[in-house]
Amino acid sequence: MIDTKEEMKLVYSRPQSHTEKPTHYCPGCGHGTIHKLMASAIDELGIQDQTIVVSPVGCSVFIYYYILADGIESAHGRAQAVATGLKRALPDKTIIAYQGDGDLLAIGTGESIHAANRGEKITVFYVNNAIYGMTGGQMAPTSMEGQKTQTSPYGRDPVEAGFPIRACELINTLEAPVFIERCSVNSVKNILRAKKAVKKALENQVNGKGYSFVEFLSMCPTGWGMTTPDAADWVENVMTPYYPIKNFRDR
């Protein structure tokens, strides 16, 4: 049930910085919601003309279909390296690195950790859906213990594959980042909270502050083999206890 004007606007309005292109994402996928939150924050901050979005490889590569801003596509895992170069060359621009879990925490682990450790003045939006969605549903660094995927048909075994990696907690061990928050897009309440985190992370960059990192727990009904309602519940009941929704740092 939609109760407030803020919720009505979130559901029914289209931000200026969001295209009119119909979504290509699977039903129930969280990427579209996150795109809308980003576009809304870009509009509210008045930074559409100065924003550059860096997309990697994975489902998140298609963000350029939906965000009306300059963009550049990076090699798999290298979004934050490209974002670093852009920000250093164009310090007055607002640079966003938009990445999925396989991209940021597998092939791109080195780039991610060192950009955070240097305190690059960029904003990172990281989508954790606990699976490789685009390439067929393989196990990701964030796949849950016991989770069945195409490459872990009997469930993720920590003895063989290690435990799911908590990105926020990992980055929170570093000194330089100024903002670290984990959100979720599985319910209206959580989406409204995520909207505030998105705006804060971009506002930090506009104000010349350092590295800001926002993680989104997101549904992948197709990859998980679930209905959309069941996927939203799985985020709440399985992912959230291991990946708690909270602010880790706000300087």
For residue range 45-86, list pLDDT tens digits in order.
999 999 999 998 888 788 989 999 999 999 999 999 999 999
The pLDDT value recorded for residue 133 is 83
Cβ–Cβ contacts within 10 Å for residue 98, how many? 28
The rounded percent of the chain whose pLDDT value lies above 70 is: 95
Given a contact cutoff of 8 angstroms between Cβ atoms, the answer to whether 185 and 137 are in contact is no
Max Cα distance, the chain (Å): 50
pLDDT per residue as tens digits for the range 90-144: 999 999 999 999 899 999 999 999 999 999 999 999 999 999 987 788 999 999 9
Reduced to 3 states, what is the DSSP secondary structure of residue 37? helix
Write down the pLDDT at residue 48: 97
What's the pLDDT band for 7 if we cut at 50, 70, 90? low
Q: How confident is the model at residue 2 (pLDDT cuts 50, 70, 90)?
A: low
pTM value is 0.94
Check residue 201 and give its pLDDT: 98
Alpha-carbon gap, residue 150 to 128, rounded angstroms: 18
Residue 6 pLDDT > 60: yes
Token output for 134: 């685009």
Tell me: pLDDT of 1 over 60.
no
- For residue 140, the cross-strand partners are none
Neighbours of 34 (CB within 10 A): 26
Average pLDDT over residues 235-247: 98
Question: How confident is the model at residue 60, as a pLDDT?
Answer: 79
Sign for the pseudo-dihedral over CA of 227, 228, 232, 233: negative
Boundaries of every domain in the chain: 5-250
* 8 A C-beta contact, residue 73 and residue 67: no
Does residue 206 surpass a pLDDT of 70? yes
Is pLDDT above 90 for 4? Answer: no
CA distance 133 to 131: 6
Helix, strand, or coil (residue 130): coil
> In whole angstroms, what is the distance from residue 172 CA to residue 219 CA?
24
Residue 205: which pLDDT band, with cuts at 50, 70 and 90? very high
Say how far apart CA 147 and CA 144 lie, in whole Å: 5
Assess if CATH 3.40.50.970 describes domain 5-250: yes
- Spatial contact of 184 and 190, defined as CB atoms under 8 Å apart: yes
The predicted structure's pLDDT at residue 208: 96
pLDDT for 170-196, tens place per residue?
999 999 999 999 999 999 999 999 999
The residue type at 38: M
Tell me the pLDDT of the chain averaged across its residues: 94
| pLDDT of res. 134 | 79
